[in-house]
Amino acid sequence: MTAVTDWESRNDAYLAAGLEWLRSRLSAGPVDGSGDSADDVWWQGAELDAESATPPALELLGDRLGLSRFERLTLLLCAAMEFDPAMAARCAAAAGQVETGQPTFGLALSILPEPAWDALSPQRPLRYWRLVEVHQGAGRPLVASGLRADERIVNYLKGLNQLDDRLDHLVRPVGDILGPLEPSQDAAVLDGLGAWAGPAAQVPLVEVLGADPAVRQGLARAIAQRAGLLLYELATDRLPRAGLDLADVIRLWERETLLLPLALYIDVSDAPAEEAGSLHGLLRDLSGAVLVGCREPVAVPGRPFRLVDARRPSPVEQEKLWGDVLADVAERDSGLDAVTRRLSGEFDLNQAAIREAAQRARAGGGGTDGLWNICQAQARPRLEALAQLQEAVASWDDLVLPDEETMLLRYLTDQVRGRSTVLRHWGFAKTITRGSGITALFAGQSGTGKSLAAEVIAGELGLALYRVDLSGVVSKYIGETERNLRQVFDAADQGGSLLLFDEADALFGRRSEVRDSHDRYANIEVNYLLQRMEDYRGVAILTTNQRQAVDHGFLRRLRFVVSFPFPSPRERALLWRRAFPAQTPVDDLDLSRLTRLAATGGMIRNIALNSAFCAAGRQAPVTTALVLEMARVEFRKFQLPVSDADFRATAKAVP
């Protein structure tokens, strides 16, 4: 504090001496430019203390922006209007004007030593860095136009060094959102710092790659902080679209980087494709320390860059974090190690999210019991905007399949439970670099139980079930399908979710049927989907009605392929027995008669529900005749063959 106060005192004294020198120059009138009189010691800088660690603000500014002595004195003359209200009258008198006003370039040329005519050229610092504003009226020559010092620069000369308020709506300071970094993240920060270590004609962009926006921003802040810079984030959606206005913003920011230790963070991960060109131009033109948050590398022509991986803490680090933040509940909850292992195995959260989840669980008073739901809620806001959340209420008893297919689904759930143990504690993670995801293809015609099976698995594992309609994700525009899929997986990467990709027929096709570039690109889209499924920490399931349309090369990349056959009579009988809840009033249903209907499980559920609705509306029990009537409606809906004899109730024999 004492050093700052001393500098402020020296700066005030230096400005006071400069103002006094200006008053004497204005009173003396025009000079020959030599400035060798005894009172001209100040302008030469002879009063500056060579031993001083920090020069006065005018000299600092001049050194950083490359101002000559004449340009520094011209700037001081313009700023003097703000320091001394009587200075305007002195300027008017020295220029022979009747009215007081702003100083002119002509006045500066006449009273200041070492005048230079190019001082107000657009390429020189006074105008290039917007240090002075020229008020040139119609028909008035530049030399006679009024000059005014920029308000930000006037404050700087006073010793007030704060960010230009014209940038307030465009940038905001980046705070510490992650807290202490983990060792794996520290290594990434050191890698980013290396980009600014050596001399370079142009400072490289530091591109921070990752799916988690908080981690991208947190590592960018750490890189800037360790470089001794304050990080500000640019709101790209507020940038002016006009070229000249954008150039002014760039120039203002670059001026700020010369006055303050600043770095700029620009997140382009969600930028619309149509804005890619303008963003590339912005990144190319901005000088100084610039960090870019992105999901994929951004190639900016003519600008060197350094890639930095912005990952969440590793699974081992997350397990340790969970143990640290839950240490205070260890006495109340037995099996804390099992809890932390399960949480770190299923969820992929950054350290801030882990601390927040633990704090919410602690505030709720429920110990670790509610942590699973709290962690799932972390991803819901992002994922629910891209997929449909379905409540998983079905159980194994609701699923009617042949024993072999049911066993495959049991194997799938066992693998999900044991995956983290195998990878992390049994050493398989060192030998398997990719393909550790639990993926499956459910194949069968509509209504055979594919979606129901996904619901059963989600309920069994405590996962949130999200349905992604692939027919809505696939786009005719090249690159757009991958973009849509990336958004889904990035949002689900935090874990605790089962992704059900419905209608995979919209994307899958046989590789042998490639006819043009669009067909080849469709295979790229399929490969991208399968690659993201393999790397996904949760469970990803595809459903298709046409297994024969899926190439065998794609099938090899799926861990499970489960066929859902048309239900046999035995299975249909079981489905009909479970179709009506115990509370439903039924009138001696003829199950053997209903079993003869060639209906899928989905059709049987619809028929039972429609029958119950109608019976309740008629205030009567559900009868065989009513069920057959609703079955006729269901069969006609799917344009299936309908024979009146098949849907006519058989009269009961009279005893």
Residue 369, pLDDT > 70, answer no
Enter the tokens of residue 417. 């439970």
pLDDT of 36 reads 47
Enter the tokens of residue 84. 């001394």
- CA neighbours closer than 13 Å in the CB half-sphere of residue 507: 28
| Distance from C-alpha of 484 to C-alpha of 472, rounded to nearest angstrom | 9
Task: Give Cβ neighbours of residue 466 (< 8 Å, ≥ 6 apart).
Answer: 383, 384, 387, 388, 389, 390, 492, 497, 498, 499, 500
Helix (H) or strand (E) holding 420: helix 403-420
Give the mean model confidence (pLDDT) for residues 34-51: 57
Enter the tokens of residue 610. 């429609």
Q: Residue 32 — pLDDT band, cuts 50, 70, 90? A: low
Strand partners, 541: 440, 500
Distance separating the N- and C-terminal Cα atoms of the chain: 108
Q: Residue 434 — pLDDT band, cuts 50, 70, 90? A: low
Q: Residue 477 — pLDDT band, cuts 50, 70, 90? A: low
Closest Cα to residue 466, out of 488, 483, 437, 439? 488
Residue pair 83/19 in contact by the 8 Å Cβ criterion: yes
Q: What is the pLDDT of residues 437-455, one digit of tens each?
A: 889 999 999 889 999 999 9
Helix (H) or strand (E) holding 610: helix 601-618
Give the mean model confidence (pLDDT) for residues 188-200: 86
Give the mean model confidence (pLDDT) for residues 270-277: 76
Strand partners, 232: 173, 264
**Cα dihedral sign, 458-459-462-463:** positive
In the block, residue with structure tokens 């006037």: 154
Q: What is the pLDDT of residues 320-341, one digit of tens each?
A: 999 888 876 655 555 677 888 8
Give the mean model confidence (pLDDT) for residues 85-101: 78
Strand partners, 267: 293
What percentage of residues in the chain have a pLDDT greater than 70? 87
| Distance from C-alpha of 351 to C-alpha of 356, rounded to nearest angstrom | 9
pLDDT of 145 reads 86
Give the mean model confidence (pLDDT) for residues 157-163: 95
In the block, residue with structure tokens 């559920």: 605
pLDDT of 340 reads 84
Q: Which residue has the higher pLDDT, 524 or 46?
A: 524
Q: What is the pLDDT of residues 576-595, one digit of tens each?
A: 999 999 999 998 888 888 99
Give the mean model confidence (pLDDT) for residues 513-535: 69
Residue pair 608/579 in contact by the 8 Å Cβ criterion: yes
Give the mean model confidence (pLDDT) for residues 452-461: 94
Residue pair 211/312 in contact by the 8 Å Cβ criterion: no
pLDDT of 1 reads 59
pLDDT of 496 reads 86
| Distance from C-alpha of 366 to C-alpha of 381, rounded to nearest angstrom | 23
| Distance from C-alpha of 542 to C-alpha of 561, rounded to nearest angstrom | 9
Enter the tokens of residue 44. 């030469």
**Cα dihedral sign, 350-354-357-360:** negative
**Rounded to 5 degrees, what angle do the CA atoms 401, 406, 410 make?**
155
Enter the tokens of residue 322. 């969970």
Helix (H) or strand (E) holding 442: strand 438-443
Residue pair 424/345 in contact by the 8 Å Cβ criterion: yes
Closest Cα to residue 572, out of 607, 545, 546? 607
Q: What is the pLDDT of residues 617-648, one digit of tens each?
A: 999 999 999 999 999 899 888 888 877 666 77
Enter the tokens of residue 135. 């008020």
pLDDT of 99 reads 61
- CA neighbours closer than 13 Å in the CB half-sphere of residue 314: 12
**Cα dihedral sign, 93-97-102-108:** negative
Number of other CB atoms surrounding residue 275 within 10 Å: 15
State the angle between helix axes of 336-346 and 315-325 in degrees (0 to 180), rounded to the nearest 10: 140
Residue 379, pLDDT > 80, answer no
Q: What is the pLDDT of residues 388-414, one digit of tens each?
A: 888 888 899 889 999 999 999 999 999
Task: Give Cβ neighbours of residue 173 (< 8 Å, ≥ 6 apart).
Answer: 230, 231, 232, 233
Give the mean model confidence (pLDDT) for residues 163-175: 94
Residue pair 6/51 in contact by the 8 Å Cβ criterion: no
- CA neighbours closer than 13 Å in the CB half-sphere of residue 591: 14
DSSP for 480-524 reads: HHHHHHHHHHHHHTTBSEEEEEE-GGGT---GGG--SHHHHHHHH
Residue 107, pLDDT > 70, answer yes
Decide: helix, strand or coil at residue 72: helix
Helix (H) or strand (E) holding 4: helix 2-28
Q: Which residue has the higher pLDDT, 128 or 39?
A: 128
What percentage of residues in the chain have a pLDDT greater than 90? 44
DSSP for 115-173 reads: --GGGGSTTSHHHHTT-EEEE--TT--GGGSEEEE-HHHHHHHHT-----GGGTTTEEE
| Distance from C-alpha of 75 to C-alpha of 80, rounded to nearest angstrom | 9
Give the mean model confidence (pLDDT) for residues 591-618: 92
Decide: helix, strand or coil at residue 3: helix
- CA neighbours closer than 13 Å in the CB half-sphere of residue 489: 23
Q: Residue 419 — pLDDT band, cuts 50, 70, 90? A: confident
| Distance from C-alpha of 559 to C-alpha of 16, rounded to nearest angstrom | 79
Q: Which residue has the higher pLDDT, 421 or 17?
A: 17
Q: What is the pLDDT of residues 50-73, one digit of tens each?
A: 555 789 999 999 999 999 999 999
Chain mean pLDDT for the chain: 85
Residue 274, pLDDT > 80, answer no
